[in-house]
Amino acid sequence: MAEQQRVSIPGTTLFDDIQAQKGYALNKMCFSFNDKTNRDAFKADEAAYCARFGLTAPQLAAVQSRNVLQLLAAGGNVYYLAKFAGIFDLDVQDIGAQQTGMSKDEFKQKLLNAGQ
Amino acid sequence: MAKIVGSIVTSHVPAIGRAIAGNLQKEPYWKPFFDAFPPIHRWLDEVKPDVAVVVYNDHGLNFFLDKMPTFSVGAAPEYHNADEGWGIPTLPPFSGDTELSWHLIKQLVNKEFDLTTCQEMLVDHAFTLPLKLLWPDDGPCPIKVVPVCINTVQFPIPSASRCYKLGEAIGEAINAWDSDARVVVIGTGGLSHQLDGERAGFINKPFDLQFMQSLVDNPRWATQYSVEQLVEHTGSQGIELLMWLAARATIKGDVRALQNTYHLPISNTAAGVMLLEPVA
C-alpha cells in the first residue's frame, strides 16, 4: 500500500509519540483529577501537588498560567487537560475561546456560523 | 445463530449528560438533537435487542498513557461509570454479556486482531451517554452490553481501513455466535469538532454530510483517507468517526437509514445520529 502523505494542519498539534513523551508528567497529573480528592488536594496546595508529579519547568509555568496553548505546547493532551479545566469550572467553549483569542460569545457565534 | 438487528451511531458530547441531568431536552438549543431519539425508541421497542456491542473511545477514564491499547474489548460482568473530573452525574452500572465478550475476543484474535481484554473496565461518557439516550428511563440500562474501545487519544491511531475491517470481523463474529440473541451495534463519537489548538471550534458540515451519506451508499468511502487527512477534514476529535465506521461495517451488505439527524452545534461539536437497518 502506498505511504499516505503526511499533512501539516495549521493550529493543530497531533498528540504523537513526541508529545506523549514530553507531556507524560503533566498528563499524569491531569489524569489524577478524575478523583475529587485529588482535585481538592490540588486546590489546597497547588505547588505541593505539582511537585508530586515532577512536572518540567515549562509544564509548571503552563499550569500556573492556566493557558491552554501553553499547556498543549508543554505536551498536554486535551482529554486530560479537560479534567484540569474542570477544576476551574471551565467547559470546552471556555477553552476554545481562550485558545482562539475570542470572547466566549464570539466563539459560540463561530460555532453557529459553521451550520450556515 | 445470533442476529444483528441494526446499528445506531450517535455523538456522545459530555454536555449531553448535563442536558439530561438538567432536563433540557425540550430547550431550543437541545431539541433538534433529542428529537432524533423517539423514533429510535419505537424501533428498539419493536426489534427488542438483547445485547448491545458498543464501539467507543475512552477519554482518559479507564486508560492512561502508561498503557494505551489500540483495540480493547470488555469482558466484565459489570461495567461502572465514574467521575471524569467535571461533575456529570454518574450512571448506574451496566450488565456485561461475558459470553459474547469472550466469543468476540476469540474470534477477533483468531482473525489477527491482537486485542487487549478487560475484565475490569470503567466506562466514560462516550459509552454511557449514548446508552442513556437510547434507553432514557430511570434505572439501569435494560440490555446487556459489550464495550469495544478504539484508541483515539495517542497517535498512531488505527486507520479508517483497519477500523472498518475490525467492524467487519465483529459482524462476522456476532453472526457466528451460537445464540438466539438479537444484537444492536452502537458506534459513538463525532462528528466534526476540534477542542485543542488555535483551530479549536473547527467544524466541517459538507464533509460530515458526505460521510453520513456514505454509510448508506458507499460505506468504505472514508477508508480512502489517512488518520491525518481525517483530522484535517473533521478536526482533531472528529476522528471519532472511526467508531461510526466500525459500527457500520458490522452489517454486511446494504442498509437503509431509518433515522438520520444532523445538527450543530452541540457544545463545540457537530452532532449526528443515524439508525441503520440491514436490508434483508
Which domains does chain A possess?
17-89 (1.10.700.10)
Chain B partners within 8 Å of A95 (Cβ): 195, 200
> So what's the pLDDT on residue B87?
72
- Looking at the structure of chain B, the number of domains it has is 1
> So what's the pLDDT on residue B33?
97
Residue B4: closest CA among B150, B122, B171, B158: B171
Cross-chain Cβ contact B197/A11 below 8 Å = yes
Residues forming a β-bridge with B79: B94
The residues of B annotated as belonging to the active site are 125, 193
> So what's the pLDDT on residue B88?
77
Domain presence at residue B114? yes
Domain presence at residue B280? no
Domain presence at residue B98? yes
Reported confidence tier of residue A5, pLDDT bands at 50, 70, 90: low
Domain presence at residue B279? no
Reported confidence tier of residue A3, pLDDT bands at 50, 70, 90: very low
Enclosing domain of residue B51: 3-274
Residue A48: C-alpha distances to residues A61, A62, B24, B271 (Å): 14, 16, 40, 41
Residue-wise DSSP of B108-139 = HHHTT---EEESS-B--HHHHHHHHHHS-SSS
Residue A31 contacts residue B61 (beta carbons within 8 Å): no
Residue B99 grid coordinates = 459470553
Chain B partners within 8 Å of A94 (Cβ): none
Contact map slice: A 13-32 vs B, CB within 8 A: 13-17, 20, 24, 27-28, 30-31
Cross-chain Cβ contact B85/A33 below 8 Å = yes
Q: How far is CA B107 from the centre of its chain?
A: 21
CATH number for B186: 3.40.830.10
> So what's the pLDDT on residue A2?
44
Give the tens place of pLDDT for each residue, B130-187: 999 999 999 999 999 999 999 999 999 999 999 999 999 999 999 999 999 999 999 9
Indicate the residue of B59, B85, B201 with minimum beta-carbon distance to A110: B201
Residue B185 contacts residue B147 (beta carbons within 8 Å): no
Domain presence at residue B89? yes
What is the interface pTM, i.e. ipTM, of the complex?
A: 0.95
Domain presence at residue B168? yes
Give the tens place of pLDDT for each residue, A41-91: 999 999 999 999 999 999 999 999 999 999 999 999 999 999 999 999 998
Residue B240 contacts residue B190 (beta carbons within 8 Å): yes
Chain B partners within 8 Å of A39 (Cβ): 85
- With a cut of 50, which residues of chain B have pLDDT below it? none
Residue B215 contacts residue B160 (beta carbons within 8 Å): no
Contact map slice: B 192-211 vs A, CB within 8 A: 194-201, 203-205
> So what's the pLDDT on residue B86?
82
Domain presence at residue B239? yes
Asked if the peptide bond before residue B92 counts as cis, ω within 30 degrees of 0, the response is no
